[in-house]
Amino acid sequence: MAKSEKKNINIDFPIEETKDNLIKNIQKSNKFTLQNIMFDNNEYTILIDGEKSAKSGKGESIEVKIKDINGLYSFIHIKSELKSRIQQYDWNINNENIDMIESFLRNSYEYEANPGTENEKAIMGKYKSYAEKIKSQLASVPCMYYGGHENLTNEAQGTLNVYPDKLEFVIIRKQFEIPISSIINNEIMHQEQITQRLTATRMVLLGGFSLAAPKKKTNVSNYLTIEYEDRGVRSMLIFKGVSSFLKTENNATI
């Protein structure tokens, strides 16, 4: 069991709303105790103690950093750490803490507004829409992006989110989306197979990756390629998963 666990996530709420969500939900919870809140350089650092375990008699130290992104989004770093070696019996508690803290960040507390007012309706409508979006998500895969879309021409690490009607690539916030209806084909390929298939147009979009060639050792890494059509032009997205790519029931790669 790891002594500590960490997780980075993105939240589509401004920093103040995200911070308030966490604090209010912690105050309502009997599992966590708020210890300190600090703010510096557009970032909140919130220190929390976990509930004392019946097994070890200890809690966990939890640190949550909430960073403002353009006044619209929040980048979150969560760390849960055991305080003592005797907590080795508290199996998986760090992961449980992180999952619960994430749920606190994503779920709004009840605002003290008059029910039925236009302000209240707007607030509740926003959170309902966000909850429905998360619920409809089929998969969320950390991956490296190597090119294929005009909005993002550099290699980058982010998250590929899959919905029933579209794919999204997110680095803190959404970089681009592709309608499912525009996808022509998707395959798992090796680098050599990809470079053989590239056209001159795709080479411009893919930059250095399209010109890279294995040196002494054969590159046997698998890449997910997604071929799609936009305004009559075919392009190919290329990703390499941080973990294995998911598959559908008929074994088609997502």
Say yes or no: 58 and 143 in one domain: no
Q: What is the pLDDT of residues 182-191, one digit of tens each?
A: 999 988 888 7
Helix or strand holding residue 100 (H, E): helix 93-106
> What stretch of H or E contains 49?
strand 43-50
Longest dimension (CA), the chain: 69
From 94, 118, 133, give the residue that closes a domain.
133
Same-domain status, 161 and 125 = no
Domain boundary among 133, 157, 192: 133
Find the helix packing angle between 15-28 and 93-106, rounded to 10°: 120
Q: pLDDT at residue 240 above 60?
A: yes
pLDDT in tens, 189-237: 887 777 776 654 454 455 444 444 334 445 567 888 999 998 888 888 9
Same domain, 76 and 146: no
Q: Are residues 68 and 161 in the same domain?
A: no
**Residue 191, domain member (yes or no):** yes
Does 66 share its domain with 146?
Answer: no
pTM of the model: 0.44
pLDDT tens digit string along 1-51? 458 889 999 988 889 889 989 998 888 888 899 889 888 888 999 999 988
Same domain, 166 and 237: yes
The answer to whether 182 and 228 are in contact (CB under 8 A) is: yes
Residues 220, 153 share a domain: yes
Q: Which of 116, 133, 150 is the last residue of a domain?
A: 133
The total of structural domains in the chain comes to 2
User: Does a structural domain hold residue 149?
Assistant: yes
Mean per-residue pLDDT for 57-84? Answer: 87
Helices marked H in 107-252: 118-136, 191-197, 200-206, 208-211
State the pLDDT at residue 219: 52
How many of the other CB atoms lie within 10 Å of CB of 230? Answer: 12
* Domain assignment of residue 204, given as a range: 139-241
> Taking the C-alpha atoms of 100, 101, 106 and 107 in order, what is their torsion angle to the nearest 10 degrees?
70
Question: Does the pLDDT at position 126 exceed 90?
Answer: no
Domain of 66, CATH number, reads: 3.30.310
CATH of the domain at 144: 2.30.29.30
pLDDT band at 111 (very low <50, low <70, confident <90, very high): very low
